[in-house]
Structure 1
Amino acid sequence: MSRTVLAAAAAVMLSAAPALAHFQLAYTPDVNLDRPGEVPMKFFFWHPMDNGHAMDMGTPEDLSVYFKGEKIDLTDALAPVTFQAAENEAQGFEAAIPVKRNGDYIVAFTPAPYYEESEDIYIQQITKSVLNKGGIPTGWNEPVGLPTEIVPLNKPTNVIAGSTFSGVVLSDGEPVAGAEIEIEYMTAPIDMDTNRPTEPTVGGMPGGALVAITDANGVFTFGIPKAGFWGFAALGSGPATEHDGKELSQDAVLWVRAYDLK
């Protein structure tokens, strides 16, 4: 894939490769909560911008939730589920996230490395999504100590469409300069009951994947043009570079929720 630079806060360039970015989902439709409960989340490996092909997932390595400095291990709560993508079926996983007190719940999901035969490499997308109860901020902008992660610089649960979103890419806790960030919009949100994509709200982008590059401090900025879920993947930002004798792209992924200002 060609690499391009995001020259201004609200502008993005397009790469020459097709818009077929792999993106790990950690999805629930409602990230702003007003009551306690068990929040269902789906973990699918998919091409959400194109409402395209989904990939079978192996047994995940970890599912943890971070709340006010406390880590809750929910790996054993994961259960396999079949994702009925538009083009094929694929194995994914689901779990219920316990939400009790007000504040930010940082959901961190580490899948098994996925072998991409067409490129002869493994891909492992360590993915974060944030839930909030009660509108009280309690740590959405704090790293949680993953091998690689994107730390948001704007509150990720209520970004205003038409504004900008910024994040900093970390590897072993240190900023990553020059990291390539692929950007995806979830064009067809998941129906939580049927595990199928809903009707797409927009079409895929022409000209290839949306790409940004981090600056010398590991920071990127993207103008959010539309309400919905936006994903950011820092490609190869992690410290691990090999798995099972082959190249590994260990990526950091973050999902954010944007709303129209009404």
Structure 2
Amino acid sequence: MRKQIVPVMTILLILAFSSSAFAHFGMLIPEDSIIKPEKKKTELLLSFSHPFELAGMNLVKPKKFSVFYDGKETDLLPALKKTKVMDHDSFKTEYKFKRPGMYTFFMEPVPYPEPAEDNYIIHYTKTVVSAFNEGEDWNKSLGVKTEIVPLTRPWGNYAGNVFQGIVLLDGKPAPFTRVEVELYNKDGKFEAPYECMVTQEVLCDENGVFTFACPKAGWWGFAALNDADYKIKGKDVELGAVLWIEMLPYKKK
């Protein structure tokens, strides 16, 4: 009997660690990526999860949450309210748009300790919303620690479109950065044929540019990962530049 217990325990441990090894994503998801004039507002959900598998993790109140508009940054941290996303601690807020244009929402979380990888994770997360179908300068950097700067307009895209971005680390292109990609499987209606297909992966080229075609409508997350040049409590730190974009289906007449 004792010889049988060891393999069973080994399998359970492997399963436990493999389930926690799916890609992490900071999530910053509005109701819509394009705001119609008659609506003028959206709710935003801030969370931390494995978005395709719908496995949530607790998010403590972020270190920073703001919106960039017309070259100015506005602090939105006081407006956050506690909520649950995927049954885990998360935050939400409602934002009202007063003027047309492009609004970039940004979250810097408190470093997340990940026992399975024996490190800390910091995902600098952003999403771009077009108010009243307007917006320019969508390829401008925010100047944060690490980010994905779009080379494709980050809203108003059809499912199946190619998306390109450039990964910046400390304001400079980060060549050959690994970018993890996942669909927010919000309704849980999709299943990956193989475990390796839960998270897609692409590499940046020598100029820090990556390319990915999104095959389904919905919200897609891109997480460009690099190691920090510092440690927290003696442990390595994973820096993630995360960008969320919405791909839309064609409308039938």
TM range (shorter): 0.7 to 0.9
Kindly report which structure 2 residues correspond to 1:70-109, keeping only aligned pairs within 5 A, or say none.
70-83=72-85, 85=86, 89-109=87-107
Rounded to whole Å, the distance in 2 between the matches of 1:23 and 1:143 is 20
**How far 1:221 moved relative to its partner?**
0.2
Q: Give the SS at the match of 2:226.
A: coil
Kindly report which structure 2 residues correspond to 1:26-105, keeping only aligned pairs within 5 A, or say none.
26-35=28-37, 37-51=40-54, 53-83=55-85, 85=86, 89-105=87-103
**Conserved? CA contact 2:33–2:245, under 8 Å:** no
Q: 2:188 aligns with which of 200, 223, 241?
A: 200
TM-score by length of 2: 0.85
1:257 aligns with 2:253: no
Rounded to whole Å, the distance in 2 between the matches of 1:34 and 1:72 is 22
Q: 1:20 aligns with which of 10, 19, 22?
A: 22
The letter of the residue matching 1:41 is L
Choose between structure 1 and 2 for higher RCO, CA contacts under 8 A separated by at least 6 residues: 1
1:215 is matched with: 205
**Conserved? CA contact 1:50–1:204, under 8 Å:** no
Rounded to whole Å, the distance in 1 between the matches of 2:179 and 2:217 is 20
TM-score by length of 1: 0.82
Rounded to whole Å, the distance in 1 between the matches of 2:84 and 2:184 is 19
For structure 2, the residue ranges without an aligned partner over 5 or more in a row are 1-17
Rounded to whole Å, the distance in 2 between the matches of 1:68 and 1:257 is 22
**How far 1:207 moved relative to its partner?**
4.0
**How far 1:96 moved relative to its partner?**
2.2
1:179 is matched with: 177
2:124 is matched with: 126
Q: Give the SS at the match of 2:160.
A: coil
User: Of the two, which has the highest radius of gyration?
Assistant: 2
Q: Give the SS at the match of 1:26.
A: strand
**Conserved? CA contact 1:241–1:249, under 8 Å:** no
**How far 1:97 moved relative to its partner?**
2.4
Q: Given the superposition, is the C-alpha separation of residues 240 and 127 from structure 1 closer, same or farther in structure 2, using an over 3 Å criterion?
A: farther
Q: 2:222 aligns with which of 232, 237, 246?
A: 232
**Conserved? CA contact 1:66–1:106, under 8 Å:** yes
1:140 is matched with: 138
* RMSD of Structure 2 on Structure 1 (CA): 1.8
Q: Which structure carries more helix by proportion?
A: 2
**Conserved? CA contact 1:42–1:95, under 8 Å:** yes
Q: CA offsets per residue over residues 92-140 of structure 1, 9 Å max, x none? A: 1112223211111000111111111111111111101011112112222
Rounded to whole Å, the distance in 2 between the matches of 1:141 and 1:205 is 35
The letter of the residue matching 1:128 is K
Rounded to whole Å, the distance in 2 between the matches of 1:79 and 1:250 is 26
Rounded to whole Å, the distance in 1 between the matches of 2:229 and 2:81 is 27
**How far 1:206 moved relative to its partner?**
1.4
Rounded to whole Å, the distance in 1 between the matches of 2:98 and 2:229 is 35
For structure 1, the residue ranges without an aligned partner over 5 or more in a row are 1-16, 189-198
The letter of the residue matching 2:225 is L
1:245 aligns with 2:234: yes
Q: CA offsets per residue over residues 184-231 of structure 1, 9 Å max, x none? A: 00111xxxxxxxxxx323113514121000001110000111111110
